[in-house]
Amino acid sequence: MKRIITKLAIATIVVLFGNSFKSVGQVTLATTDVQIVCEGAPLTLGSPGSSNQWIVKYDATSATPSSPTTLTIDPATNQIAAADVKTGYYLITNKSTAAGACESDIQTIAVYVLPTLVPTFTSADYCTENAASTIFTASVTPAAPTGSTLVYQWYTVSGTTETIISGATSATFNPTILNTGTTSITATYRLKTAYEINSLKYCPQSIEHTVNVLPRPTTPTITVGNVGQANF
């Protein structure tokens, strides 16, 4: 099972003591029971219990390291600061704050940090009659890691209301807003992108652009004279 911790909604990791976790090597999205975390988010543990404290150590590649790094936990929030949250193994124990107290067995948690996505897309003003042939093209960095793919969804935006564009789920997009008037109007398009892992979406990011939608010019009235006629 995979879980996610985002900047918007921080999931609490419940540490169940007594479980064993033996692994050596870089944590990947395929690692058993991996916890998926968005870059820039803290890692939140559940309460250690009354008069107890968490002790957390970290290693990038081993679940049984010889010299892990000890991390600082904010006792008020039971959080590991975002700057200290990296892909790797977290070795967590529980201990009473009383002098001479013993530590619990180690619970090891594998964490994979997904880098923040940076989406962009090309856009340009377009004429109503050329909307179907106008193409907006998205570009997203970094590339999706093995075990994930990048997914896309396009929206129109009016004020604070966004409207999903059905079927617009690829990196390229034909604008949908047309102009039936006689003066230029503006249209705002938003792109959302995210990692998809086992049909679940993680760490979404978005970008939007406003463009001008140009009207068709008024059809002129053309009067053709009697060209070619002559009197003799």
Q: Count CB-CB contacts under 10 A for residue 78.
A: 18
Higher pLDDT, 48 or 167: 167
The token pair at 149 is 């793919």
Residue 24 confidence (pLDDT) above 50: yes
Cα 120 to chain centroid, rounded: 13
d(CA 9, CA 124): 35
Claim: this prediction has a pTM higher than 0.95: no
Bond into 142 cis (ω within 30):
yes
Q: What is the pLDDT of residue 167?
A: 97
Q: What is the pLDDT of residue 103?
A: 81
DSSP letter, residue 129: G
Residue 153 confidence (pLDDT) above 70: yes
DSSP codes of every residue in 89-112: EEEEEEEESSTTPPB---EEEEEE
Residue 104 confidence (pLDDT) above 50: yes
Tokens 């619970």 appear where? Answer: 107
The dihedral built from the CA positions of residue 54, 57, 62 and 67, taken in this order, carries a sign that is negative
The token pair at 124 is 């340009």
Contact between 25 and 61 (Cβ < 8 Å): yes
d(CA 104, CA 64): 16
The token pair at 41 is 């988010």
**Angle at CA of residue 172, ends 217 and 5, nearest 5°:** 130
d(CA 191, CA 113): 23
Least confident span in 2-16, 76-90, 115-129: 2-16
Q: What is the pLDDT of residue 97?
A: 82
Tokens 């909307």 appear where? Answer: 131
Contact between 219 and 58 (Cβ < 8 Å): no
Confidence of residue 232 (pLDDT cuts 50, 70, 90): low
Q: Mind listing the domains of the chain with CATH numbers?
A: 3-114 (2.60.40), 118-214 (2.60.40)
Task: Using alpha carbons, select from 125, 137, 112, 76 the residue that is nearest to residue 203.
Answer: 112
d(CA 73, CA 54): 7
Quickly count helices (H) and strands (E) in the chain: 0, 18
